Structure 1
Amino acid sequence: MFFSKTIALFLVAAAPLAFGLPAEESAQDDYWAQFCDDDACTQGCGESVRVSNPGCLNESGRKSILFHGSAGGDYALVVSPSGNCPCQNTCSSVPTGSTCWPISEYSGDNSFRFISGKCGSNNC
């Protein structure tokens, strides 16, 4: 009985370590983007997404990106002509120091994703 109580106490005490405590966020985690419907980043801006997250964004028809926070490195925007980011049709470096980036030239494209670093080769 003593043994089982000791094991239970140990497991309760170790649980936060086993499940991982939240790590301190890096500067890269403080850079956010919102896709907007107009060229001036003032109309129909969507939900903020973390630029350091390389997940796919299906944002067809958007004309600008509103940035807030601090960039912790260089980022690029990968553009795909169809949904769900199957390939890279074009890629552009995210402008540093800009809060509003007009992307009208990509308004006919369907999906986007941010990557850390520089653009690779197009593969669509």
Structure 2
Amino acid sequence: MRLNQVTFNDAKPVDGYGPGFFRIGGEVFEGAVLTGPAGPVKWGGYEDTQSLLDLADEIDVLFIGTGTDVAHIPQTLRAALENAGVGVEIMNSPAACRTYNVLLSEGRRIALALIPV
């Protein structure tokens, strides 16, 4: 078996998560968080549409982690993102973290918005 070292360039991978927090690039964030090409920041949740739309020119796909379980996001949020040309993938937060890390290591143009577990 051949093992390769994973490099993430300037973006930071999700290192871990737990009840109410995420660790991204070694830094702990309490509550909802958004991470992408510019690094992690606090996120205001589904009502904070503008933070997500600000990424539209930098990403192709946004993964939204909806907490412990998969849940629908507001239709207005989905429509705004899709109208801005951003693909939206909804999954639970643990799966979103794993998917983000894999695609980030491949150099994809992605971002991740997370609701805590």
Tell me if both proteins adopt one fold, taking TM over 0.5 as the criterion.
no
Normalising by structure 1, we get a TM-score of 0.28
Q: Which has the higher contact order (CA 8 A, sep 6+)?
A: 2
Normalising by structure 2, we get a TM-score of 0.29
